[in-house]
Chains A and B, each alone.
Chain A
Amino acid sequence: MSTAAVDTAPRAVGLDPNRDPVNDFSIVAATVNGSGSQTANSTLIRALFKMGIPVNGKNLFPSNISGLPTWYTIRVSKDGYIARRDTTEVLIAFNQQTAAQDLAALPVGGVCLYPEDAKFERSRDDVTYYPLPVKKMIADLGVDKKLVDRVANMVYVGALAQLLGIEREAIREALSYYLGGKQKAVELNYNVVVASADWARDNLPKQDPFRVERMDKTEGLILIDGNTAAGIGALVGGMTVTAWYPITPATSLADALNEYAPKLRKDPKTDQPTYAIVQAEDEIAAIGMVLGAGWMGARAMTSTSGPGISLMTEFVGFGYFAEVPGVIWDVMRMGPSTGLPTRVSQGDVLKAYYLGHGDVRNICLLPGNVQECFEFGQTAFDLAERLQQPVLVLSDLDLGMNNWMTRPFEYPTTPLDRGKVLDAEQLKQMENWGRYKDVDGDGIPYRTLPGNENPMASYFTRGSGHNENAGYTERPDDWIKNMARLARKHETARTIVPKPVVDRREGAKVGIIGYGSTDPAIVEARDRLHSQLGLETSYMRLRALPLGEEVRQFVAEYDRVYVIELNSDGQMHKLLQLHTPEYATKLVSMAHNDGLPLTPRLVTDQINEMEQTR
């Protein structure tokens, strides 16, 4: 058995003695992959959320169906911080294989719940132990043998409810959510929770300080993962054709489409779907179907991850050059090759931007939260059709597969941007028309769609050299002219892609640039740098490639600009240096890549250290 997963168990960095033990700590459930702990953990986080307490959950799981260690961490933060923490104060040691290591990772004063009927060594005397008679409790409840494994984890949910003060009604509501309201299943699980909580009340005197109290900080919010948000966003954004091929961590995006498309996108008159979702035979076929549909005039998309975009390379380059719209959600994971399929990384940035052959520069969107996963569901289509080229959305595993709090998504107020499409009537008014002619000086030509009855409308789309009228050509001047127009189009893209989000602090000499799921760690780190070290920082969160003029201005304003990202070589750092060569030495790469979501401590420590040595 691989020990790779074991080696990345959460690490202890020492308990902060001044830390408020109420609504401000983390829980980690260490279980065995495939043991049914997902329902228990999901129930826990949603119950806390329903109590109005800000939470964030992260599932650290191995690439395996069952048997390897898995950790689910829940951060409880009254201040609303949602980044991953290095320290988890409350351990549910339900995996014998990793129990010793998990216990060792607890900070002094930490809490450990473990099944007393399993082999477990109390190797430390500076933590609080709560042994739970799991087998006996389940046996006493007379649970059907076939269901024992499914409900055994509810024992720690019940015990934690009692020890931390999680409301039973919130747990029942959360269970109902995850079990689709199936009353029998809800009752079965809830009975275990109640029995365990009652037992804990009678047998486990509270010896630790950690507890939760109802708040009102999640009122009106929803708890959703990025892939589901993206799927719903695409359905709101007019998606009509999706072709996809299974790959972690992108599969749940297609799953979300399959789940929500029938609920959201039926023609009310005919009850028939207004979309088609096809599981392709591979990623090449998936992008082929997307481009076929995009060429025809449909809003088409696929979801994939790094190895998938590699296979799509030729087609993406074709789409760029032939100017066919399409949307690719690249839910990034750890590379190279198959890498660590269930770990997070932002390693596809350079590849995605230049995906293709020859001089290709793609539009890349960089959602930084689930709200943007939803919004970019439509934005990606608008840009793909406006600019007539493939658009890649670079989400990642942390954003895509974990649950995040957010304000509810708003029904869009802007119409779908279908771009420069000429119908038969418009063509009638024109003396001539050239598919690849730059009429408006923005590099974006006009297109016609197949089915247009005007005899002028038809043209031949090809990946070979073509002139303004889409005619085949190998003339050097035609090639240069066309590539110059595509470059002009890229300059237009620079001005219409989503602008970065900027927070400037007065007196700051240090700038930070980040993107994607690193945002929560950066936000928290900036607060710490300010409160603990007195260091003011300004922050720019990038939301798209190509980079715009505002990025250059931001870099110009600061003495040093730290570029924070989850890859080994500082891919965005390199793009920023290319974008602002005159400030290249100001840009400091803080690339980090261990497969785990970024923590505020990493950011704080590194920036502090670098600033101290100046």
Chain B
Amino acid sequence: MTTAAKPGGPPAPKATVNKAGLSKPDYRGLPSTLCAGCGHDSIASQIIQSAFELSLKPHQIIKLSGIGCSSKSPAYFLSRSHGINVVHGRMPSIATGAMLANRNMLAIGVSGDGDTGSIGLGQYKHMLRRNVPMVYIIENNGVYGLTKGQFSATADLGQKLKYAGTNELMPIDLCLEAIIAECGFVARSFAGDAKQVRELLKAAMSYNGTAVLDIISPCVTFNNHAESTKSYTFGKEHEEILQDINFVQAYEEIEVDYEPGSVQEVKLHDGPTILLRKVEARKGGKGEQEGTQATNGEVRYHDPTDKLAALRLLEEAREKQEFITGLLYINESRPTLLDLERLPETALIAMSEEQLRPSREAFAAALAEFA
């Protein structure tokens, strides 16, 4: 598919085939049936782009979801991957079983705020507790779209909906829940911020453990009015970006061109790196650490490897109704469920019949105990 540049002619167009020998259309899915402008479709586009850029092989990916608008979206990306759309809120257990059975797959789970924060909160927490290796995306719009506009557990206090009225309950912050549950990769983003979503996705896809991406994804039909904190308007006006994120694959040699001290590197276990450049919020001297400017004008410096700092950041953001995006917390030291189960490198589903049955001697010895 590549076009060779003619000598002296214009530069060759950007390569359309990646290291896996696949072009971008190979990563696409079915046409979306979601409402035009739905944030979920933007996220699906970035999943396609990320998988393409990382040269992932689609057949080595599984897509999983529960119930809700968000959970329909796996049909709209990576058609060459096996997908499964299960029951409401219980996708984490399906992913757990699937990854136990075949550890060589990359699992991408897509869930919503109702699916994760209400009916599925238990499975969400236990998936995090087990550190099931998977990318867990929450397409968070604070509303039940598929049942036409009820509050979800992430709906803001005081949020108004046409039929449901005013929400009087505190929202559940799914990133806070993740960090408390020792999740080692927790990020928040905004569907309208394509680059950030993409870089976070690539880092999450390269992370060994549960990687949670809570992405505010406006519901254009039921919750996109200006007052909603899950709307495009609010997102664009209030988004405070923690870092400028670049994901660097292990095989790519990229020179970091930022000033010393302004870039934080996070090495992932198998070689790739996440480069976190603090967003420039105020002019400072050369080499000065830069930070994010909060709504009150303070400059904030966030170290995503500091768990307590991440909790404090989210807690403060909640109190002040701030919308902070970026990599909130990262920790690569936790063993995954597959490590804890001491599973061999060979996937359980790839085991031969001989491996799946005991030896005759071991079998006879076990039975002899009962004589």
| A interface list, Cβ under 8 A from B | 177, 221-224, 232, 235-236, 238, 240-241, 243, 260, 263-265, 267-268, 270, 272-278, 280-282, 284-300, 314-315, 318, 322, 408-409, 411-412, 415-416, 448-455, 457-464, 472
**B41-97, CB < 8 A from A:** 57-60, 62, 74-75, 79-87, 90, 92-97
Main secondary structure of the interface of B (DSSP, over half): helix
Please name the 9 residue pairs, one residue from A and one from B, whose CB atoms are nearest each other, closest first. Answer: A288-B93, A292-B97, A289-B97, A298-B101, A264-B358, A292-B94, A293-B97, A450-B82, A222-B370
A457 cross-chain contacts in B, Cβ below 8 A: 59, 82
Which residues of chain B come closer than 8 Å to A224, judged between CB atoms? 370
Residues on the B chain within 8 Å of A315, using CB:
86-87, 90
Nearest chain-A residue to B83 (Cβ)? A460
The answer to whether B126 and A272 touch across the interface, beta carbons within 8 angstroms, is no
Between A and B, 21 residue pairs with Cβ closer than 8 Å are A223-B370, A232-B363, A232-B366, A241-B97, A243-B93, A272-B343, A272-B344, A288-B96, A289-B93, A292-B97, A292-B99, A298-B100, A314-B87, A449-B349, A451-B59, A452-B82, A460-B75, A461-B82, A461-B83, A462-B84, A463-B86
B365 to nearest A CB, angstroms? 8
Verify A297–B101 contact, CB threshold 8 A. yes
Of B353, B365, B366, the contact of A238 (CB 8 Å cutoff): B353
For B, the interface residue count at a CB cutoff of 8 angstroms equals 59
Nearest-neighbor residue (CB-CB) of B343 within chain A: A276
Chain B residues with CB under 8 A of A287: 93
Known contacts: A236-B358, A409-B367, A458-B82. The answer to whether A278 contacts B100 by CB under 8 A is yes
Give the residue name and chain of the A residue nearest to B367 (CB). A408
Interface check B371, CB cutoff 8 A? yes
User: How far is A241 from B359 in the complex, measured between Cα atoms in Å?
Assistant: 19
B85 touches A464 (CB 8 A): yes
B349 contacts A270, CB within 8 Å?
A: no
Residues of B within 8 A of A260 (CB): 366
Question: Are A274 and B59 in contact (CB-based, < 8 A)?
Answer: no
Known: A263-B358, A292-B84. 12 other contacts (CB 8 A): A241-B100, A265-B356, A274-B344, A277-B341, A278-B96, A296-B97, A297-B102, A298-B349, A322-B84, A408-B367, A455-B59, A459-B83
Query: Which of B105, B122, B359 is A281 in contact with, Cβ under 8 Å?
Result: B122
User: Would you call B97 and A290 a contact (CB within 8 A)?
Assistant: yes
Given A276-B348, A315-B87, A281 contacting B123 (CB threshold 8 A)? yes
Q: Are A450 and B358 in contact (CB under 8 A)?
A: no
Closest to B62 in A: A450
Q: Is the CB of A291 within 8 A of B94?
A: yes
Q: Which residue of B lies closest to A289 (CB)?
A: B97
B118 to chain A, nearest CB (A): 14
Asked if B367 and A222 make an inter-chain contact with CB atoms under 8 angstroms apart, the answer reads: yes
Supposing A315-B90, A318-B86 touch, asked if A416 and B366 sit within 8 A by C-beta, the answer is no
- Are B366 and A264 touching (Cβ within 8 A)? yes
Q: Tell me whether A288 and B90 are in contact (CB under 8 A).
A: yes
Inside 8 A of A286's CB, which chain B residues have their CB? 93
- Assuming the contacts A273-B341, A281-B126, A408-B367, asked whether A462 and B82 have C-beta atoms less than 8 A apart, the reply is no
> Do residues B343 and A273 form an inter-chain contact, with CB atoms below 8 A?
yes
B93 touches A285 (CB 8 A): yes
A299 touches B356 (CB 8 A): yes
- Taking a contact as CB atoms under 8 Å apart, the answer to whether A240 and B362 are in contact is no
Q: How far is the CA of A479 from the CA of B331 in the complex (A)?
A: 48
For B80, the chain A residues whose CB sits under 8 A away are 455, 458
Bound form: Cα–Cα A461–B84 in Å: 4
Complex interface: chain A residues within 8 A of B359 (CB): 268
Q: Which residues of B contact A461 (CB under 8 A)?
A: 82-85
| Chain B residue, CB-CB nearest to A259 | B366
Let me know if B357 is at the binding interface, CB within 8 A: yes
Minimum CB–CB distance from A232 to chain B (whole Å) comes to 6
A314 vs B119: C-alpha distance in the bound complex, in angstroms? 13
List the B residue with the shortest CB-CB distance to A300.
Answer: B97
Chain B residues, CB < 8 A from A285: 90, 92-93, 96, 122-123, 126
* CB-defined contacts of B101 to chain A, threshold 8 Å: 240-241, 292-293, 296-298, 300
A351 CA / B123 CA spacing, docked (Å):
26
Residues of A within 8 A of B365 (CB): 263
Q: Chain B residues with Cβ under 8 A from A314's Cβ?
A: 87
Say whether B294 faces chain A, with CB atoms less than 8 Å apart: no
Query: Which B316-371 residues have C-beta < 8 A from chain A?
Result: 337, 341-344, 347-349, 351, 353, 355-360, 362-367, 369-371
Known contacts A285-B123, A285-B126, A289-B97; is-contact A451 B351 (Cβ 8 Å): no
How many Cβ-Cβ contacts under 8 Å join chain A to chain B? 214
Interchain CB contact under 8 A, B348 and A274? yes
The interface residues of chain B lying within 8 Å CB-to-CB of A451 are 59-60, 82, 102, 104-105, 347, 349
Instruction: For A408, list chain B residues within 8 Å (CB).
Output: 367, 370-371
CB closest residue in chain B, given A449: B349
Q: Which residues of B approach A to under 8 Å, CB–CB? A: 57-60, 62, 74-75, 79-87, 90, 92-102, 104-105, 122-123, 126, 130, 337, 341-344, 347-349, 351, 353, 355-360, 362-367, 369-371
Measured CB to CB, the closest approach of chain A to B147, in angstroms, equals 15
Asked whether A291 lies within 8 Å of B97 as measured between CB atoms, the reply is yes
CA A411 – CA B357 in complex, angstroms?
10
Measured between beta carbons, the chain A residues less than 8 angstroms from B343 are: 272-273, 276
Q: Which residue on B lies nearest to A460, using beta carbons?
A: B83
Shortest distance in angstroms between B323's beta carbon and chain A's nearest beta carbon? Answer: 32
Q: In the complex, A459 Cα to B359 Cα: how many Å?
A: 37
- CB-CB < 8 A to A411: which residues of B? 360, 363-364
Residue of B60, B123, B337 near A288 (CB, 8 A) is B123
Residue of B57, B341, B348 near A278 (CB, 8 A) is: B341
Nearest Cβ in chain A — how far from B101, in angstroms? 4
Q: Are A222 and B371 in contact (CB under 8 A)?
A: yes
Contact at A240–B59, with CB atoms within 8 Å? no
CB atoms of A284 and B90 under 8 A apart: yes
A264 surroundings in chain B (CB, below 8 A): 358, 362-363, 366
Give the docked Cα–Cα distance between A277 and B87 (Å): 23
For residue B3, give the distance in angstroms from its CB to the closest CB of chain A: 24
- Set of chain A residues within 8 Å of B370, measured between Cβ atoms: 222-224, 408
Query: How far, in Å, is B135 (CB) from chain A's closest CB?
Result: 15
Among A243, A415, A458, A472, the residue within 8 A (CB) of B97 is: A243
Q: Which residues of A contact B86 (CB under 8 A)?
A: 288, 291, 315, 318, 463
For A450, what are the chain B residues with a Cβ–Cβ distance below 8 Å? 59, 62, 81-82, 98, 102, 105
- Determine the residue in chain B with the shortest Cβ distance to A297: B349
- CA–CA, A263 to B361, complex, Å? 11
Distance to closest chain B CB from A123 (angstroms): 41
Closest to B363 in A: A411
Q: How far is the CB of B68 from chain A (nearest CB, A)?
A: 13
How far does the alpha carbon of A315 sit from the alpha carbon of B97 in the complex, in Å?
13
Return A7 CB to nearest CB of chain B, in Å.
Answer: 34
Whether A288 and B97, one on each chain, are in contact in the complex, defined by CB atoms closer than 8 angstroms, is yes
Bound: A507/B122 CA distance, A: 61
Could you tell me the distance between the alpha carbons of A263 and B365 in the complex, rounded to whole angstroms?
A: 9
Task: Establish whether residues B74 and A293, one from each chain, have CB atoms under 8 Å apart when the complex forms.
Answer: no
Q: Do residues B355 and A267 form an inter-chain contact, with CB atoms below 8 A? A: yes
Kindly identify which residue among A291, A298, A458 contacts B79, using a CB–CB cutoff of 8 Å: A458
Give complex CA distance A290, B341 in Å. Answer: 16
Specify the chain B residue showing the minimal Cβ separation from A455: B80
Assuming the A-B contacts A274-B351, A296-B101, A460-B83, are A238 and B59 also in contact, with contact meaning beta carbons closer than 8 angstroms in the complex? no
Q: In the complex the two chains form, is B358's CB within 8 Å of A265's CB? A: yes
A238: chain B residues within 8 A (beta carbon): 353, 356-357
A132 to chain B, nearest CB (A): 31
Q: In the bound complex, what is the Cα–Cα distance between A322 and B360 (angstroms)?
A: 37
Nearest CB of chain A from residue B209's CB, rounded to whole Å? 16
Our pick among B60, B87, B364 for the contact of A318 (Cβ within 8 Å) is B87
A-chain residues with CB within 8 Å of residue B99 when the two chains form the complex: 292
Closest approach, in angstroms, between the C-beta of B259 and any C-beta of chain A? 45
Q: Indicate which residue in A222, A299, A459, A463 contacts B87 across the interface (CB closer than 8 Å).
A: A463
CB-CB under 8 A from A318, the residues of chain B are 86-87
Question: Complex formed: what's the CA distance from A300 to B343 in Å?
Answer: 15
- Cβ distance A74 to chain B, nearest Cβ, rounded Å: 17
